[in-house]
Amino acid sequence: MTATTADARPPELRLPKRRGVELSLLIGAVFISVYGYAAVGLARNDAVPPDVAGYGAGLGLLALLAHLAVRFRAPFADPLLLPIAVLLNGLGLVLIYRLDLETPRNQAATTQLIWSTLGVAFFIAVVVVLRDHRVLQRYAYLSVAVALVLLIVPIFFPAVNGAKIWIRIGGLSFQPGEFAKILLAVFFAAYLAANRNALAYTGRRVWKLQLPTGRVLGPIVAIWLFSVGVLVLERDLGTSLLFFGLFVILLYVATGRTGWIAVGLLLAAAGAFVVGSFEPHVHSRVEDWLNPYATIEAGQGPSQLAQSLFAFAAGGLFGTGLGLGHSILIGFAAKSDFILATAGEELGLAGLTAVFMLYALLVARGFRAGLALRDPFGRLLSIGLASILALQVFVIAGGVMGLIPLTGMPMPFLAQGGSSVVTNWIIVALLIRVSDVARTPDPDAVAAAREEP
Amino acid sequence: MIRYIRRAAGFCLLLLVALLANAARVQIFEADELNSNAANRRTTIDRYDRPRGNILVGGDPVTGSRDTGEQLAYERTYRHGPMYAPVTGYASQTYGTTLLENAEDGILSGTDPILAPLPLWGDVTRSRQPGGDVVTTIDASAQRAAYEGLDGRRGAVAALEPATGRILALVSSPSYDPEVLSGTGSSVTDAWVRLNGAPSQPLLNRALRETYPPGSTFKIVTAAAALDARVVTDPEAGTDTPSPYILPGTSTVLPDEARGCRKASLAEAIRVSCNTVMAHLGVEVGLEGMLETVGRFGFNDNDLKIPSRVARSNFDSEMTDDQLALSSIGQFDTAATPLQMAMVASAVANGGELMRPRLVDRVTTDDGDTVRQEGNESYHRAMNPTTAQQLQRMMVDVVENGTGTNGAVDGVTVGGKTGTAQHGVGNSGIPYAWFISWAQAPDSGRPAVAVAVVVEDASADRADVSGGGDAAPIARAVMEAALED
């Protein structure tokens, strides 16, 4: 996103480590989260919540441990990634805690804090254990096998709110599709990195499109179609859209063939039309999107989407203030799919823009690491991970704000949902890892990059 | 590859721009429309998130607010709800507001900019003030006397202070407790269905919104028209009315129930309530003259507000002479609200000057600072001062020597007029008993009160139903209560 030089070899900069910057940003992120937590209590009960110190200490400790892991095992990593993740996660906890006040029977903040802790633990584990992202390339086929299993398993479990994307074991439930995102990104990156020349330059030419040989393209298209098919079967339209976007972006970056985007868009349009017309669950979502106020006109009260739009409108430019909105009117998914509506109502357009900017920075930093890396796999992996975040934010934010049809997906870090938080922490850990490699001054790698066409 | 990464990044940037533009669309450009959507509960939640201001009678609130702890937090409570329901109306979270609760809703709910210490600043911050109070003109003891006087019978009472137009009592019976409609839920909807389905129509404000044939009480209006038009110059002189009187252009005979009406004087006709004399005088005044006079009393006015809207009292503007004759004795299409007939008595008592009736004395902030004071305002000069003096004497005569002796109050000058209004198909219904009156204490320079009472279902059998028998005692009780203050 930050255009600096023309398409040329990576810059030979001796980058400083910037760990001090990261630490001060982390302190700021924790401070903002604690401030928000206190603001909710003050607005609701005229008192700072009694456990504000505990919340601050907990979030601070998580941030510190993550920071120490980065400081010792990825010292050259991008200093913005971790503070943004901590701030978004902290803000999400504040919003969930705030919504918990409205639903005394359904307390989610504590669970979310436990999942966040687990997420940070995974983050630390990835940063500590994974010394070089290129190792992952070796496990490409294992990744895709596990991903496919994870995707298929929920079919055998009952649907929750219309979508079969959960696995319930005992009291725990998690969404395997979330983890499959990372595994598929690893596989796509590895496969495309290995076969990109063959994809770009072999095979027959049809009109303006260079068709690669079926032997090269076949396996990846098959896997992709299979995943999307399974997701459609599970009625998880959001994730299938995400996989689709991820695949098209990576294919385009790997081959540089604009035609793939055209083909992708055509396929997507056709698929969306077919599914939107014939699958009742999806069809109703499309209807809602086209006319969010139909249920009001029919005398059945506002739909969730209409309630969400009401919430955003109530926020206006500066918002009602934390704890002072009525986003609970949105109903059962207020803490998960629709959590952005609470941000929109209580923080206003100003706060929402800030949140979008945090995501944009996270994505931009992912792309930046991709630009700075020398190996195609690392590049594709970081682009893939950053694109997952960007697409997910767009699909869910666009959905709850009436820009595109609604698809149930969690807002990264903000929304209630264990698998989602853990997955996003792993994504950030991988970005930390690739950015560390990208920014480490390494004469050999620079030399190697020079030889690359 | 780097070029394509940049393009992919550009694509992500495009997504971000789309999101921001869409956020601005929803939160800025479409916000007003979404905020005012009727299905958006936020307006309602905000409205009920603080206690509502109170309606005061004689310095004491007759309303209150209760925090229910629910989403719509504050519900309305009422003290002596049924007695004051025709004044306050209800403030329901389900069915909206009526009467004063409706007319002064901006004050009571705190949204009226008049309550803000710095009005412009309030507009900027969109902050709301605590609800203000509405001080009524109602006299608690007069209200109670009227309510207890009706004692659950169908009917209404309206009482005014003639010199100011202040409404001292406004009672409709049978009544209801507005509190049963305050909140939400099935108890409220059940109460609503029950009240609306009740044959006695408890939700109907009979004092303001129901019109009745005024019967003989209307003869005061006809007399005023005759005297002002100089059709009659000496109320004590005999008129040339035959009895029975044959309605002009017809062969219909208009009988008198009273004796001695043949060629009776106007004063005699008022005292014993002669139909023939008054019908004849109405015809002599003519439609145009009658319309002018009834208009000055408030008939045919669609826009009378106190500040709640008052139903239009009717006197037809196109009639043949026989219809005019009947209308002049309060029959045919003539119909009046109890408040309208109290205005008639008030105009006579106040020397012909009819003050605009009003229910609100002043409006204050929640800590009692007056932000709006209602002033006395003339509505119309209803008749000449001499005419008023002559009518005062005639009405006093009704109470002292005529049909209205039940309205007399010891040691006080009381003027009155009875009425028995027939209605129903072929006049088959039990007649409405009317009494309008005014009272002036001997040591006072001006009358204290003017009252109109109507009783729909007077319990006695039909022959005994009369304004003097059923309505006058209620009026007397209201006058006594008003005089004591």
Q: Give A148-161 pLDDT, tens digit per residue.
A: 888 888 878 777 66
Q: Residue B463: its pLDDT value, please? A: 47
Three-class DSSP category at B364: strand
Q: Which residues contact B482 (CB under 8 A, 6 or more apart)?
A: B139, B141, B142, B159, B161, B168, B169, B439, B448, B449
Number of H helices, E strands in chain A: 16, 4
In chain A, residues 328-367 whose CB comes closer than 8 Å to chain B: 329, 344, 348-349, 352-353, 356, 359-360, 363-364, 367
CA distance A57 to chain B (A): 33
The answer for A417, left when phi > 0, alpha when psi is -120 to 50, beta otherwise, is left
In chain A, residues 216-255 whose CB comes closer than 8 Å to chain B: 249, 252-254
Q: Residue A447: its pLDDT value, please? A: 58
Report CB contact under 8 Å: B26, A326: no
Please report, in tens digits, the pLDDT of each residue of chain B (485 residues total): 788 899 999 999 999 999 999 999 999 999 888 888 888 888 888 888 889 999 999 999 999 999 988 888 899 999 999 999 999 999 998 898 999 999 999 999 988 888 887 766 655 555 668 899 999 999 999 999 999 999 888 999 999 999 999 999 999 989 999 999 999 889 999 999 999 999 989 999 999 999 999 988 999 999 999 999 888 888 888 888 877 788 888 888 888 777 778 888 899 888 888 888 889 899 989 899 999 999 999 999 999 999 999 999 999 898 888 899 899 988 888 999 999 999 999 999 999 999 999 999 999 999 889 999 999 999 999 999 999 999 999 999 888 888 888 888 888 999 999 888 776 555 566 788 899 999 999 888 889 999 999 998 755 554 445 666 788 889 999 999 999 87
Q: Residue B458: its pLDDT value, please? A: 57
What are B362's strand-pairing partners?
A: B135, B373
Q: Which of B65, B216, B313, B328 is the catalytic position?
A: B216
Position A205 confidence tier, pLDDT thresholds 50, 70, 90: low
Rounded to whole angstroms, the Cα distance separating B239 from B253 reads 18
Pick the residue of A5, A7, A102 with the most B CBs within 10 A to test the interface with B by mutation: A7
B23 in contact with chain A, both atoms CB, cutoff 8 A: yes
Least confident range from A193-202, A397-406, B315-324: namely A193-202
Q: Which amino acid is at B278?
A: M
Angle subtended by helix axes A237-255 and A214-233, to nearest 10: 160
Report CB contact under 8 Å: B8, A367: yes
Chain B nearest-CA residue for A373: B2
Judge if pTM exceeds 0.80.
no
Q: Which amino acid is at A153?
A: V
Rounded to whole angstroms, the Cα distance separating A234 from B280 reads 91
pLDDT at A196 over 90: no
Closest CA to B225 of B336, B351, B384: B384
Q: Residue A1: its pLDDT value, please? A: 47
Residue B177 DSSP label:
-
Report CB contact under 8 Å: A387, B28: no
In what helix (H) or strand (E) does residue B67 lie, and over which residues does it extend? strand B63-67
Q: Residue B121: its pLDDT value, please? A: 64
The answer to whether residues B354 and B385 touch, using CB atoms and an 8 Å cutoff, is no
Rounded to whole angstroms, the Cα distance separating A245 from A383 reads 12
B19 in contact with chain A, both atoms CB, cutoff 8 A: yes
Contacts of B38 in chain A (CB under 8 A): 296
Q: Which amino acid is at A46?
A: D
The answer to whether the Cα torsion of A237, A242, A245, A247 is positive or negative is negative
Of the partner residues A7, A314, A329, the one whose CB lies closest to the CB of residue B2: A7
The answer for A53, left when phi > 0, alpha when psi is -120 to 50, beta otherwise, is alpha
Rounded to whole angstroms, the Cα distance separating B220 from B266 reads 10
Strands in B328-393 per DSSP E? 353-355, 360-364, 370-373, 378-381
A376 in contact with chain B, both atoms CB, cutoff 8 A: yes
In what helix (H) or strand (E) does residue B285 lie, and over which residues does it extend? helix B275-297
Q: Residue A432: its pLDDT value, please? A: 95
ipTM for the whole predicted complex goes beyond 0.90: no
Closest CA to B240 of B269, B218, B219: B269
pLDDT at A445 over 60: no
pLDDT at A169 over 50: yes
pLDDT in tens, B329-355: 888 889 999 999 999 999 999 999 999
A185 in contact with chain B, both atoms CB, cutoff 8 A: no
Report CB contact under 8 Å: B1, A256: yes
